[in-house]
A = this chain, B = another copy of it.
């Protein structure tokens, strides 16, 4: 099927924002075997939008448009679509009711301007939006199916999956999706992983691709056809053998969510003591619903006095070894575990920079410590990167420690 994407918004052509919607759309459609042939972005400009719609409807079977469905004057999509395809702009009662319902559910008052969002081209079908105020719409012009979705990624993606994809499959008479298995890896570089697969290649019919999500590498295994499932099962086994113990998650799983699940399943409690990560580990774990089941408390101990009061770190360690030291990390992990009375105590202390580095302890020096009833572990690292990267890789490494402990790998 000949599919094109049209994104609208001044921010996309004046450089304020990179267009990520196009990639998300292409990914999602690609996963179902539909290739996007072309994507275009134009500003909130009637003439440009109209010219693009004219040209694209003449050359494509399916157009997916995003953006310009909002309540403000620079949201032009419905009006321009109506004019381009010679239709009147009419108030769609169903759309209006949906917008009203959205505000009611949120106990928010509906601004009169939002009524504008219910003005759709005649004979177009509303595409309900359960996550936001802007309903999308679908219309057919000649041989071209046009789907107009909001620009807000999460709303757009949900509507694409739930409402556009089924219509595409109807039109194309079904499609066998390209299947993908993603292994998320922490601790091996992409070149290193490539090398491993060169030495032990995958079976025929399974393609290999890579993605990076700092500090992680995503290994993507892809296959299509009726055998795809079995092929990917075998390929995943092969890849896991090759990459163990560096695979921390599969598919949509995340490191934090897996650690949360493992802690809950093992019925273990955790307390955190963070210095250089400043609450990042705690924030990542509490992003997961139900974190209260295992996280008893977390301490962000920037000051020495906080390390003394809450973690019982001995003065002498702070004086002699310093707050960024193997001894301090150990004391922090023990201290938080005892003061919280949890099964596990995890501590991070280090120098995230840009200031605070010394010749012996340069920026990037980080110590992790894990305290448990059955074991205690302390290790020093020297991470590179800017403040944000050092904080992020430190927090991820702390979570990885938990994962390996809970998986019995350490």
Within A19-33, the residues touching B (CB, 8 Å) are: 19-20, 22-30
Chain A window 54-65, contacts with chain B (Cβ cutoff 8 Å), 1 for yes, 0 for no: 010001000000
- Does B17 lie within 8 Å of A384, measured CB to CB? no
Complex partner residue of A55 from B13, B55, B301, CB under 8 angstroms: B55
Report the separation of the CA atoms of residues A114 and B194 in the bound assembly, to the nearest whole angstrom: 13
How many A residues face the partner with a CB closer than 8 A? 95
Chain A window 235-279, contacts with chain B (Cβ cutoff 8 Å), 1 for yes, 0 for no: 000000000000000000000000000000000000010100111
- Does A296 lie within 8 Å of B305, measured CB to CB? yes
Chain-B contact segment, one of A41-49, A82-90, A92-100: A41-49
CB A350 to nearest CB in B, in angstroms, measures 12
Contact status of A209 and B10, CB under 8 A, knowing A107-B384, A282-B279, A287-B391: yes
CB A23 to nearest CB in B, in angstroms, measures 4
A to B CB contacts below 8 Å, 6 in the list = A37-B42, A38-B41, A74-B209, A107-B382, A289-B354, A296-B306
Which residues of A does B touch, CB under 8 Å?
A: 10-20, 22-30, 35-43, 45, 48, 51-52, 55, 59, 70-74, 106-108, 111, 113-114, 189-192, 194-195, 209-211, 272, 274, 277-283, 285-287, 289-292, 295-303, 305-306, 309-310, 339-341, 353-355, 382, 384, 387-388, 391
Contact status of A38 and B30, CB under 8 A, knowing A20-B18, A282-B279: no
Complex partner residue of A211 from B16, B295, B300, CB under 8 angstroms: B16
Report the separation of the CA atoms of residues A291 and B275 in the bound assembly, to the nearest whole angstrom: 11
Contact status of A19 and B15, CB under 8 A, knowing A289-B353, A302-B295: no
Interface-centre pick from A39, A274, A292, A384 (highest chain B CB count, 10 A): A39
- Does B11 lie within 8 Å of A15, measured CB to CB? no
- Does A13 lie within 8 Å of B38, measured CB to CB? yes
CB A192 to nearest CB in B, in angstroms, measures 7
Interface-centre pick from A108, A192, A210, A279 (highest chain B CB count, 10 A): A279
